[in-house]
Amino acid sequence: MSQHVVIIGAVALGPKAACRLKRVQPDARVTMIDAQKIISYGGCGIPYLVSGDVSDPKQLRTTSFHALRDEAFFKQAKGVDVLSETTVLKIDRKKKTVLVQEKNAEPREISYDKLVLATGSRPRTLPIPGVDLPGCLPVSTMTDAMTIRDMVTKGAVSKAVIVGAGFIGLEMAEALSDMWGIETSVIEVADQVLPGVVSKNIAHMAQQHLKDKEVTLCLAEMVTAIEGEGKVQRVITTKRTIEADLVILAAGVLPNSELAKDAGLTVSSSTGGIMVNKTMQTSDPNIYSGGDCVAIENLVTGKPGLFPLGSMANRQGRVIGTNLAGGRDTFPGAVGSLSIKIFDMGVAGTGLTLKRAQTEGFDAISAQVIQFDHAHFYPEKTLISLELVVEKGTGRVLGIQGISENLEGLAARIDAVAAILKYKPTVQDISNLELAYSPPFSAAMDVLNAVANVADNILGGRNRPISSSEFAALWENRKSNNLIVLDCRDRDNAEKFLAKHPDFWMNIPSETVQEHVDQVPKDKQVVLLCNTGGRSYEAQIKLDKAGVTNTVNLQGGWGNLRIWGLDPTTEE
């Protein structure tokens, strides 16, 4: 007799595992259960549904050939039974049953041969008053999405507050502010957007872009209460009160691992995720799990980690489907790769940020570069800014993050590193990474090779760097920091800076620096600057050779500073 597989959860991982199993073992009996009415939808499309880019909610629920993925579709097209609006209350591993609560019915038991936990995650709730007021909600399900969209299309929202500047919070900020002109504020407890995802430097560039797009950012600030009479009217933070008709809670997600824990399955004490081996089997060989509810190995740190991403759920679902059918596919772990569109900019990263690497105990540095995506002579080009995180001593690459208006070009560079990060590449591997080249696509020495070259020079002691954020801090107190900027560009480029800050700016083009060594002050902190950091690096080498070593090289130069939002020629 064919086996009966029960799957709890029917959004991303559940349907993928079910369909793969039925393709490999068509006679398997599969029952998929979900507490929600709407199943098998692309949650990642929710921000675009709210913005109106995706006009019909059904588009998130249809196949590429326009079939609606509802209960009838799974029954007829896939041979999978679906129990929607049904909650699994308990797992009895001895009896191999689950206790289910269907709508308007008494709880009943369903037996299984194999069980899959695809229970996903839930939004983190905030322990503050007012979170249950109408108009305050998470953005997790299609129901949430439709509620927000209804409010917005009816014109009920003129001011919105988003709690959390992670990728979901920022995508929602764009959706509300760009398409609907809603006055949008984002509150984040960390001192940067996308904490843990990108470095402070890249985050600052994203923050500048959000400000340009009139999104108000309240960083290093905590929400203490949400208030209103009968509905949301204002948000109280540690620093201010903000009026709001809509509050979206996007303060991260927690794995739904309680069912597993209650059934005695092993759950990671550090992350709360269900522990699985490389075949996605839990501590009970008859129970598989994957997606947002599991902890898998972080292949950079070697520790269990949560990766609540749709891309993970889909790939893990396939592995589970194969293994349920008797195969032995594996999912070795993840390095954590993410891309996000923020208005006109793309931000992407893989592996660890510098801060995270240092917290994990790596003696790490980062190298930054800004360079054109295409050959410099090609007419269409835009800048890509990358930051590579590297372990000192070994030169092991631990992560990379970037920002650019060229979304696909940025993703291509990040993905190239993501693909090999689990093999512990070194700076030399990235420096010599073979990338397809012709001028409309990239440069002969691609920006990705270039950032590794910069890292190699920093590790070799040839390049003593300073980041945009370090420079900004020095510049703010330039007098007491005894700072001077040595502009290594041509006079034309340096002119307006010299005029604005004659006491803190000097100009010697890098080509002539040997001839003017005696003009470089020995009693000041000298920051070398050019457009991208390349010419100033050459100037640093020449000055070092002449015995002038009180210099640091501004990584990414004026190009990075400009995206960073610091323009010494315009400031008061």
Ligand X SMILES: Cc1cc2nc3c(=O)[nH]c(=O)nc-3n(C[C@H](O)[C@H](O)[C@H](O)COP(=O)(O)OP(=O)(O)OC[C@H]3O[C@@H](n4cnc5c(N)ncnc54)[C@H](O)[C@@H]3O)c2cc1C
Q: Which is nearer to ligand X, 178 or 487 (CB)?
A: 178
CB of 283 to ligand X, least distance (A): 19
Q: Which is nearer to ligand X, 88 or 370 (CB)?
A: 88
Cβ-based neighbours of 545, under 8 Å, separated by 6 or more: none
Q: Which is nearer to ligand X, 33 or 397 (CB)?
A: 33
Pairwise CA distance, residues 199 & 353, whole Å: 6
In contact, 293 and 307? CB cutoff 8 Å: no
Pairwise CA distance, residues 92 & 94, whole Å: 6
Which 8-state DSSP code applies to residue 58?
Answer: G
The separation between CA 188 and the C-alpha centre of its own chain, rounded to angstroms, equals: 15
Which 8-state DSSP code applies to residue 273?
Answer: P
Residue 480: how many other CB atoms lie within 10 Å: 8
Please give the C-alpha separations between residue 475 and each of 78, 366, 466, 504, 564, in angstroms, as whole numbers.
63, 21, 12, 9, 14
Q: Which is nearer to ligand X, 174 or 391 (CB)?
A: 174
Q: Which is nearer to ligand X, 130 or 169 (CB)?
A: 169
CB of 466 to ligand X, least distance (A): 34
Q: Which is nearer to ligand X, 139 or 529 (CB)?
A: 139
Q: Which is nearer to ligand X, 167 or 372 (CB)?
A: 167
Q: What SS3 state is found at 413? A: helix
CB of 252 to ligand X, least distance (A): 11
Query: Which helix H or strand E contains 111, and what residues bound it?
Result: strand 108-111
Backbone angles phi, psi at 524, to 5 degrees: -125, 165
DSSP-assigned letters across all residues of 144-170: HHHHHHHHHHTT--SEEEEE--SHHHH
Q: Which is nearer to ligand X, 79 or 310 (CB)?
A: 310
Active-site amino acid positions: 44
CB of 163 to ligand X, least distance (A): 14
Which 8-state DSSP code applies to residue 228?
Answer: -
Pairwise CA distance, residues 117 & 140, whole Å: 19
CB of 40 to ligand X, least distance (A): 9
CB of 38 to ligand X, least distance (A): 8
Q: Which is nearer to ligand X, 228 or 308 (CB)?
A: 308
By beta carbon distance, the residue nearest ligand X is 120
CA angle at 320 for the pair 316 and 324, rounded to the nearest 5°: 175
Beta strands across the sheet bearing 234-237 = 223-227, 234-237, 241-243
Q: Among 188, 186, 189, 191, which residue's Cα sits nearest to residue 175?
A: 186
Angle, in degrees to the nearest 10, between helices 468-476 and 557-564: 70
In contact, 421 and 351? CB cutoff 8 Å: yes
CB of 65 to ligand X, least distance (A): 22
Q: Which is nearer to ligand X, 141 or 453 (CB)?
A: 141
Pairwise CA distance, residues 455 & 443, whole Å: 19
Which residues make up the interface to ligand X (CB under 6 A)?
A: 8-9, 11-14, 33-36, 43-44, 46-47, 87-88, 118-121, 139-140, 168, 256, 259, 291-292, 308-311, 313
Beta strands across the sheet bearing 551-554 = 465-466, 551-554, 525-529, 483-487, 505-507
In contact, 352 and 366? CB cutoff 8 Å: no
In contact, 247 and 161? CB cutoff 8 Å: yes
CA angle at 554 for the pair 480 and 560, rounded to the nearest 5°: 115
CB of 7 to ligand X, least distance (A): 9
Which 8-state DSSP code applies to residue 393?
Answer: T
The strand pairing partners of 82, in sequence order, are 32
CB of 251 to ligand X, least distance (A): 13
In contact, 554 and 527? CB cutoff 8 Å: yes
